[in-house]
Amino acid sequence: MMEQRILGALVIMALFAVLALLVDFLIHRIFNYIRKKSNVEIDNSFIGGLHRPAWIILLLFGALTSVMWLNLDQRSNFIITAILKTLLILVGAVGLGRLMKSICHQWWVKRRQGQQIIHLLENVGRVLVLLAAVALLLLVWKIDISPLLASAGIVGLAVALAARDTLANFFGGINIFLDKPFATGDYVILESGERGEVVDIGVRSTLIRTRDDEQISIPNSIVANTKIINESAPEPRYRVRIKVGVGYNSNLEQVEAALLKVANSNQSISHEPEARVRFRAFGDSSLEFELLCWAKTPADRGRVIHELNRAIFEEFRKNNISIPFPQRDIYMHTSQTDPVDSYSNNKGDPNV
C-alpha cells in the first residue's frame, strides 16, 4: 500500500514537471509571437521574472499534491506542507517583486516625467508584497498575529499623526502625477505671481526655476490645491501682444502691413496660427494698434518681445510712420517786481 502511494506521488511529481516545462515553453513562444506581430518591446527581464517563478511554483504545487497523496501522519504532514508552502510564498513574493520592478523600469524608461513617483510606487508595491508574504507565513505556521495587528494599528496611528504634512505632500504628488496639470519643462505662473520652468516633480515638492535662475520649492500639498497657469499647455506656443500707437495722419493699411512684415520675418514666431493685427481704440493722441502673434515656446517670450519692439521701431522709421508721444509746452512768466525788494518794502506793514 505504501509503495503504491510513493509510486503515485512520483507520478504526480512527473506530471507537474512536464506541465512546468510546457508552461515555460509556452511563455517564451507567446511573448516572442507578441514581439513579432505587434512590435511591442518586451524586456528579457520581464520574461525571466515571469517564467522562472512559474515553473518553480508548479513544481512546489506538485510536491504539495504528492505529500497530500502520501497521507502521512499529522505532525509530519504539517511540517512538510508548511515548509513547501513557505517556499511557495517566498518564490511567489520574489517573483512578484521582480516582475513589478521590471514593469516599473519599462514605464520609467518610456516616460520623461514622474520618474520619482514611479520609483516610489515600485517601492511601496514591494513593501506591500513583503508584508503580505510575512502575514501568509505567520498563517501557514499558525502563529497568532492578533497582538501584532493591534500594536501595528497603534503605531500606525501615531506615525500618521506625526507625519500628516509628509503624507499630504505625498498624496499631493500622487494627484499631480495622475492629473498631469503640468510636466517637467513646462512654464508655469504661480498664484503668487512667480513664473518659471518646472525642473522636477518630486515626492515631497515641486521645483521651479525662475527666469532669474532662482529655484522655488513648493510642497506638493500646496501645488495640488492652488491655481497654477500652465503656459506650455495645451499647446507649447505662447501668445505675444505688442501694443503700439501711431499718428492720426497714418495710413492704416501701411501700418498693418508693416506690423505683419515684422512678425513674419521673425524666426521665433510660429506661422500657425498666423500673426494678426487689431485696431483697438482711438487714443488721446494716437491710433492704438495691437500685434498678436505666437512665440514657439514660452521661454522665448522676453527675447521675442525685445526683437519685435526693435524691428517695429525700425520699420516705422523706414516707412515714415510716426509714433506719437506726450509733449508739454512750458511758459516762463517773469515778474517786474523783485521778490527781495517787495519783501523789504513791506517789512514794516503788519498786514504782510
Of 325, 307, 326, 305, the residue nearest 315 (C-alpha):
307
| Look-up of cell digits 517563478 | 53
Residue 137: CB partners within 8 Å, gap ≥ 6? 86, 89
Per residue in 11-53, pLDDT (tens digit) is 888 998 888 888 878 877 777 777 666 665 555 555 656 767 8
Q: What is the pLDDT of residue 187?
A: 92
Q: What is the pLDDT of residue 157?
A: 65
Whether the per-residue pLDDT at 343 is higher than 50: the answer is no
Per residue in 248-278, pLDDT (tens digit) is 999 999 999 999 999 999 999 998 889 999 9
User: Domains of the chain by range and CATH?
Assistant: 2-112 (no CATH), 144-234 (2.30.30.60), 238-318 (3.30.70.100)
Q: What is the pLDDT of residue 329?
A: 74
Entry pTM: 0.58
| Cell digits of residue 278 | 487689431
Computed from CA positions of residues 191, 194, 195, 196, in that sequence, does the dihedral angle turn out positive or negative?
A: negative
Per residue in 129-146, pLDDT (tens digit) is 888 998 888 888 888 767
Burial (0-12, 13-18, 19+ Cβ within 10 Å), 223: buried
Of 284, 285, 279, 289, the residue nearest 315 (C-alpha):
289
Tell me, what DSSP letter sits at residue 158?
H
**Mean pLDDT in residue range 49-60:** 81
Q: What is the pLDDT of residue 37?
A: 67
**Mean pLDDT in residue range 233-257:** 93
Q: What is the pLDDT of residue 339?
A: 52
Q: What is the pLDDT of residue 308?
A: 96
Per residue in 150-190, pLDDT (tens digit) is 666 666 666 666 667 777 877 787 788 778 888 888 999 99
Q: What is the pLDDT of residue 8?
A: 84
Per residue in 276-330, pLDDT (tens digit) is 999 999 998 899 999 999 999 998 889 999 999 999 999 999 999 999 987 777 8
Q: Residue 1 — pLDDT band, cuts 50, 70, 90?
A: low
Contact 88, 61 (CB under 8 A): yes
Whether the per-residue pLDDT at 243 is higher than 70: the answer is yes
